[in-house]
Structure 1
Amino acid sequence: MVTINELLSKNLDRKYGPIEAHEVIELVRVTRAPESINNPSMPSVRISTADLHHMVEQAKKFNLWEEWSTKVLATELPYNPYLKPVFTGHSFPRSSMSTDNYEALVRSTLVPVLLPEDKKSFINLNDKVMSFNNLMFDMPDAMVNHLMTGKKLWLYAKNGQVVWYTRAEYEAQTKWNQAEQDAKKKITALFELFNALQQAKPIFDAIDQKKNFSALPFKWFTGVKIVMSGLSAGSWGDGEKSNTVTHLVFDEDYSGSKLVREKNQYLCSAGGLFPADEAKKEFKMKVGEVTVDTVPHLVTCKVCLKRIFTQLALTQSN
């Protein structure tokens, strides 16, 4: 007597063999790559093909490309190269049969259902019945004829019905699903790189600005003007308002080039509510937990910038 467990333990692939060449379903390829893609978690954020080259150049400038070059394509936006196949399957309603002959059918089964291989599902071609999820069903003739030719099929429970797919349909869907997962991983990686660049850009812009301002004839740092309105419930809560700009602040007393300032005074005007050194803004460059360097924030005050360029011009003329 052959049991269902013994049947399922056999090499069924050898019995049914591979898909023949004429049975393979070729997926339809997408005619052209997308011109832009949206962030899956934030659809309002979009990256276009034109943005990609700039992102790669920034990643190289910010020393991030070595980390991301294996995750992000440098020449095109990630996408699934195949159109999604449309297979509705072959369905038949759940019309449960009596289970009186369940054990007898298990013992007499010659062709087990291949998926799901839970050792509870089987078919019996002679009686045209099947067991799926411990329920008994009549088998449609198309399903019987398919199996009689020695071909595999896959079964699913879907919307109150049992649906079956041919092996070629199943493997075509599997190929598309794999390509879709690969595309999603690459899209996720691309937007993770986008976020990394957004975080790195202020630091590297500040580094460039610090180099450009290195000729200033005085020591300086950057700070904001903390005011009472920045401490209200509707503000950042740290003394800054939403439109706060960053200023250049003197780090020493200075007198020269028609400019006189004391230490901790702003270049543009008087300070805010608190001393400038308490409102200092700088990026800390760390190795582990140790700060090895600091970089002043980007100066954004228009008055400060105008006076900085004036001082640089005077310095160069001298």
Structure 2
Amino acid sequence: MRIVELTPTVDVPRDGWDRPLVIPKQGGKPVALTRTTTFIDCIEDKSALSGWKSRMTLVGAAMRPDLLNVVSQLDPEEPADKRKLDRLAEQALDISGANAKREKGTHLHTLSEYVDRGQPLPAGTSPHDKLDMAAYMGATVPFTVKAVERFVVVPELGTGGTFDRLLEYAGPGPEGGHIEGHFIGDLKTGTITYGKLKMATQLAVYSHGEFYDHTLFPVDPADRKAFAAWKKREVSAEEAAVAYSPLPGHVSRKWGIIINLPAGSGDCALHWVDLEIGWDAARLARQIRATRSAKGAMLPWVTGVTSAGTC
């Protein structure tokens, strides 16, 4: 694997709901976009995830019975107590080790960038991590990495998000023939048994995006006064347009690539994902989200009609 371009990751300014704030292409004040993962969340069957989180929360509570003593003093119908219970549930989940996989995944993503750059792994890298990175290196030999962790905006959907990799590839395709071009790639460090449609949808949304360079409108979100002023700033259409640039001309909107590296397995496998199916799901997600805001789905029951002279 060889990197042609690697732009350092600097996060996009975000609002209090973690939504990316961007200057619209037509100019104006910063607007909040829906995160890509949030946008497509409505199409996922979360029953397996929900059940797993419930089980792990119970495991964490069993490991720390003192948490239950606090729970017994709280009213789940009281707003302030609800927030406390939410924090306790998250604490129990963390105690169970459920969040360790997420942290491990973030760690492997970081190590994979060293591999992509052709740099040695940091000192102290564990033997298991070295085996994982060796597997990653071997599986990704056919690719040239064109970009890593780049933020894109999809005005059609009102979304913004960061893809893992933009990969150049030429060779056998998913349908048996030769295929070549640029492909959106995503590194998954857990099981891919569930969520295949969501993965295809996520990559499909990215493939329809445009690069957005937020560094042209710098601001320090930690400086509250400066951040408040920045959010009110009007930007001309000419200035705003410069921040947008198209993805390379041959980015596939038909196929994307999942790089599956289960943490600690020493095994890495590649999978094609159908982005046309994913894009259909993205448009369905837009329809679902719009329908959720519809009014009038329920009306009060009318027991009688009163008019002049009647009762």
> What TM-score, normalized by structure 1, do the two folds share?
0.22
> What TM-score, normalized by structure 2, do the two folds share?
0.22
Larger radius of gyration: 1
Larger RCO, structure (CA 8 Å, separation 6 or more): 2
Structure in which a larger fraction of residues adopt helix: 2
